[in-house]
Amino acid sequence: MSRATRVAVALLATAAGSAAGQAGAAGAAGAGLAPDSAQLAARARLWIRPVASLAVPGTGQLLAHEDRGALYLVTELYLVTRYFQLRHDAQVQADRFRELAFEVARRPFAPSRRDTIFEYFETMERFVASGQFDYDPGPGISPETDPATYNGSVWLLARRTNWSDPDTPPPPTSLEYIRAIDFYIARAVGPGFQWSWRDAPLARDEFRATIRNSDDGFRRAQNQLGLLLANHLVSAVDALASSRLSGVARRPAQLETVILGPHHGRVALRVAL
């Protein structure tokens, strides 16, 4: 490295340090002063467009006469329309599988229609029949014993959970037997909600298809809400970045350093913002 180059680098470092010191002093001095009304107004204007885009995507960009605001707005309209369409289609499917459940599988057991939670209909999809709640009209509870039915599977689980041997019943007055009966009563399907698909296999197939379509439709509609939120956030961040860049562009700044070499050469470093 030549002597002239070393001198130039040293002078540049000195000038940069001096400029940094002056900037720090100016910042420290400015920190002790309260912002005036013009600064507060400028800060408020900075957030107008981001807040507008957060509320309605694209409005912040349109306020700045930026054409891409129309893209955010069209995306918002499409996602909202798609959300309500998916909700509507899913509800149509939900009404259909409830109608099949009431009119086909539950009609012989409950002439009046009684709705319940969605998990009940999912159970109807998995088991061909609920089975009887109490197959003996005498005193006490005589649980369903067919494990292919829902109530029968509940009674099998109750025996496995509370009895030492699920195939060997303890005395009816024993604590193990009473606990198994309580387990069964708490989880088995009662007389008002029994069902059977045994004589309607085609209706059961349609029921399975509609319940899956309804579940998928509601899930897809929920996904649209996530896309709507993302569209709001991206539009707001875009508007904030554009607003800040516009603010910088309206306040031009320039840093210039001049270095004189040993032969009175002139080297200038200029950075413009």
- Domain boundary assignment for the chain: 45-126+199-273, 131-188
Average pLDDT, the chain: 80
Tell me the mean pLDDT in the region 119-137.
Answer: 92
Backbone angle region of 264, left / alpha / beta, with phi > 0 → left and psi within -120 to 50 → alpha: left
Report residue 261 CA to chain centroid gap: 64
Mean pLDDT of 8-30: 43
Give me the pLDDT at residue 68, please.
Answer: 86
User: pLDDT grade, residue 272 (50/70/90)?
Assistant: very low
What average pLDDT does the segment 20-48 reach? Answer: 55
For the chain, the straight-line distance linking the first and the last C-alpha, in angstroms and rounded, comes to 32
